[in-house]
């Protein structure tokens, strides 16, 4: 059965473009198109989709409608995956999306949307309760941390840094094992070592693992490693 998707984006060109990309995917069916927060909530009530793909900023306030929509769905007890599309590489937005610990949340940069495989991967991930953060957010955070000699990341091995990057993106232990050609047991040992060295609480919940790791990496901003937010939505 195809994954049903409601798409919310206030730009007609972007909305139609994304819908066109997804139209070529036999395992995904776009059942609703919206241009603002209120119509998104109405479309969810009408279609009961498996996944919502939403712009982070839409009418009426053009602030954080995408994140508020994710929170609203969780508060209503709806197990609907949410992919938030944004121009903002600031990790604070991704942390806000994951803040409730609700599974099935993905934060993807808009500049990556033209890569259909990336968007489709995010949709499939949240549809089954996975969490995912765009690797283009993770990579500079890790680079900034490594450049700081006082960072606990300096204590990680090269392999542990690779595992950390995949962990922050929301990959499961099995997916990390496949990506790095390791056994699941080896991945588990690396993750335990990482969390111990970084003084993070180990948690099997993917959303909480991603959030904990992302919050740690985001502290690199305090060391001047990450720039400010771009303008636009």
The pTM of this model reads 0.75
Residue 215 CA to residue 32 CA, distance in Å, equals 34
64 shares its domain with 105: yes
Residue 114 lies in domain: 3-134
Residues 68-95 pLDDT 10s: 999 999 999 999 999 999 998 877 788 7
Q: Of 84, 103, 134, which residue sits at a domain end? A: 134
Counted domains in the chain? 2
Q: What average pLDDT does the chain have?
A: 84
Q: What is the model's pLDDT at position 205?
A: 65
| Parallel/antiparallel/unpaired status of strands 81-86 and 28-34 | unpaired
79 shares its domain with 164: no
Residues 171-188 pLDDT 10s: 889 999 999 999 999 999
Nearest one of 20, 217, 211, 40 to 119, comparing CA atoms: 20
The more confident residue out of 29 and 219 is 29
Q: Of 102, 118, 134, which residue sits at a domain end? A: 134
DSSP secondary structure, 116-159, as one string: HHHHHHHHHHHHTT-EEE-HHHHHHHHHHHHHSTTSGGGGS-HH
Sign of the C-alpha dihedral computed for residues 8, 52, 85 and 7 taken in this order: negative
Q: What is the model's pLDDT at position 17?
A: 93
CATH number at residue 213: 1.10.10.10
Q: What is the model's pLDDT at position 164?
A: 86
Alpha-carbon dihedral angle through residues 196, 201, 205, 207, given to the nearest 10 degrees: -100
- Residue 97 resides in a domain: yes
- Residue 233 resides in a domain: no
**Paired residues of 41 in beta bridges:** none
**Paired residues of 132 in beta bridges:** 106
Q: What is the model's pLDDT at position 214?
A: 72
Average pLDDT over residues 93-109: 84
Average pLDDT over residues 127-147: 79
Q: Of 77, 100, 134, which residue sits at a domain end? A: 134
Q: What is the model's pLDDT at position 225?
A: 38
CATH number at residue 72: 3.40.50.2300
């Amino acid at each position: 059965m195809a994954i049903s998707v409601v798409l919310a984006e206030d730009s007609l060109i972007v909305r139609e473009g994304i819908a066109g990309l997804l139209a070529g995917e036999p395992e995904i069916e776009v059942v609703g198109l919206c241009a603002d927060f209120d119509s998104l909530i109405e479309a969810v009530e009408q279609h009961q989709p498996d996944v919502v793909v939403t712009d982070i900023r839409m009418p009426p306030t053009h602030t954080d409608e995408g994140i508020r929509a994710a929170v609203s769905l969780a508060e209503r007890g709806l197990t609907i995956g949410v992919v938030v599309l944004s121009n903002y590489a600031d990790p604070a937005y991704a942390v806000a999306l994951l803040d409730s610990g609700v599974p099935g949340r993905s934060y993807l940069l808009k500049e990556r949307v033209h890569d259909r495989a990336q968007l489709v991967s995010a949709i499939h991930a949240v549809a089954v309760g996975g969490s995912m953060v765009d690797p283009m957010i993770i990579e500079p955070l890790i680079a900034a941390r490594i450049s700081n000699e006082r960072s606990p990341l300096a204590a990680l091995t090269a392999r542990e840094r690779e595992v950390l990057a995949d962990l922050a993106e929301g990959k499961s232990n099995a997916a990390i094992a496949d990506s790095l050609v390791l056994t699941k047991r080896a991945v588990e040992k690396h993750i335990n070592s990482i969390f111990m060295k970084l003084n993070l609480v180990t948690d099997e919940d993917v959303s909480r693992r991603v959030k904990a790791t992302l919050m740690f990496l985001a502290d690199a901003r305090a060391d001047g490693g990450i720039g400010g937010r771009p303008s636009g939505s």
